[in-house]
Amino acid sequence: MNTTPPTSCPAWTKLAAHAARWKKARLADAFAGDPRRGERLAAAAPGVRYDYSRQLLDATTIGLLAELAAERGLDTSHPGDHVFLRAGERAPADVRATLARMHKLAHKLRGRGRFRRLVHLGTGGSALGPRLVVDALGVRGTAIEFAFAANFDPLDLARALEGADPASTLFVVVSKTFATEETLANAHAARRWLGGRDAAPHFIAVTANEPAARAFGAGKVLPLPDSVGGRFSLWSAAGFSAMCAVGPEAFDELLAGAHEIDAHFAAAPPQASVPALMALIGIWNVNFLGAAAHAVLPYAHALRLLPAHLQQLEMESNGKRVDREGREVGYATAPVVFGAEGSTGQHSFMQLLHQGTQSVPADFIDPGVDRNLSANARAQADALAFGTADESLPPERRHPGNRPSSSIGLERMDARNLGRLLALYEHKVVAQGAIWNLNSFDQWGVELGKQLASDILSGRR
């Protein structure tokens, strides 16, 4: 990996010069001049079609971005330890052993046992991914009810426990250090809610700190690898609650779909790799066209929690102002990520996307669950790209167009395709971090506020 600033790369200079042309170009003209643009500027991965023809770029841009990737030493063969969690038979022995334990325990819990409510206690990456999977795929083949509590606002846990019977409630506490303030506050509150019952049968801990979990009173402990950050941990025992909800077989499909994208990313050159293209086009928009935000627009109710998951994945990983060498960066890094499910987002922030003063690149995600949704996804992408040239309309009804977007089409909405989709974004983020020379796996920016809050509560501030 090249740890010099990316601005020192020859390709960066070439891209900056090349961008001057695209800052003046129009997408409508680009399509008119190339009837096959929609075919040429597209790529495929297992179960995925990525159409980037509505981005402000051309084949020359992609070639220069590929040069940048090469100069940065982008390593597609080892993009992070989390990929080993979904490597199937090639996974390390400890990973396979943990997955086998998860299978056995999940099968036992999903039967007609004592537990009727499972409450997942975790925050950040220890909650967003598992909650997304449960919400997207639904509870299958079990009578257990599932709830999540991530905030130490008492109302969050109270709502997760509403209607639950302490005798038949199981808590899964997910914290790598078993010291996360919000998670431990909820875990202690849950133990108090149990009354005088023995806590051990009611608590499963998922952690890298087994002694602390045992001292708390957890009856069972599933290990978390210390080398995997929370936002990349869905594929580990952090996803145990999701496995219990959707079933071990569906969870295995989730892992298999992600592994297919891992193999694609490792084998395909940047010009043909969907996650590499997503990363490079994001860098093009941020660093050369000046985009400060990025919208994620999934056109499926099942994916309504995806934007929240990606907010953490992208902004916690690459929202950095210091590079791997401790130098302040002289270039933009992660954009602000936001979004909502289609078509509800069309009635809120998409007004700004169409007619606001800033251009916000967008990802339209379409798993083809409904013809109306698919039609709206395509219509919104076209409206952003082409606007309307009808000068008979009053100014407030005109759309300037020329707003870039990409479209991600999935085969269907199921566990395997959800795994593929999440892995696409993970590889995108790690690749961007490598090109920006960032450590995508730390998150010191979240620590200062926690320390100051502790000082305030203790009277030291």
pLDDT value at residue 112: 78
**Do 107 and 237 have their domain in common?**
yes
pLDDT value at residue 305: 98
How much is the average pLDDT of 351-365?
97
**CA neighbor of 363 nearest in space, from 258, 254, 277:** 277
**CA neighbor of 16 nearest in space, from 327, 255, 286:** 286
pLDDT band at 79 (very low <50, low <70, confident <90, very high): confident
Structural domain contains residue 183: yes
**Do 153 and 174 have their domain in common?**
yes
How much is the average pLDDT of 133-157?
97
Structural domain contains residue 460: no
How much is the average pLDDT of 52-65?
98
pLDDT band at 450 (very low <50, low <70, confident <90, very high): confident
**Do 273 and 398 have their domain in common?**
yes
**Do 67 and 90 have their domain in common?**
no
Residue 390, pLDDT > 90, answer no
- Catalytic residue (choose from 325, 347, 391, 396): 347
Structural domain contains residue 158: yes
Name the average pLDDT for the chain: 96
**Do 287 and 430 have their domain in common?**
yes
pLDDT value at residue 77: 59
The answer to whether the CB of 441 falls within 8 A of the CB of 226 is: no
- Catalytic residue (choose from 23, 107, 108, 450): 450
**Do 274 and 239 have their domain in common?**
no
Residue 293, pLDDT > 70, answer yes
| 316 tagged catalytic | yes
pLDDT band at 320 (very low <50, low <70, confident <90, very high): very high
334-354 residues labelled b (16+ CB within 10 A) or e (exposed): bbebbbbbbbebbeeebeebb
pTM exceeding 0.95? yes
Residue 433 lies in domain: 6-76+268-446
Q: Which residues contact 73 (CB under 8 A, 6 or more apart)?
A: 1, 2, 434
DSSP string, 288-349: IS---EEEEEESSGGGTTHHHHHHIIIIIHH--SB-TTSPBPSS--PPEEEE--TTGGGGTT
CA distances to 299, 300, 309, 366, 428 from 409, in Å: 10, 12, 19, 5, 16
How much is the average pLDDT of 305-323?
98
- Picking from 252, 280, 306, the residue at the C-terminal end of a domain is 252
- Catalytic residue (choose from 316, 341, 427, 428): 316
What one-character DSSP code corresponds to residue 451?
A: H
> 216-257, pLDDT tens digit by residue?
999 999 999 988 989 999 999 999 999 999 999 999 999 999
CA distance 241 to 131: 9
Which residues is 365 bridged to in the sheet?
Answer: 298, 408
| 181 tagged catalytic | no
| 450 tagged catalytic | yes
| Number of alpha carbons in the 13 Å side-chain half-sphere of residue 253 | 13
How much is the average pLDDT of 132-151?
97
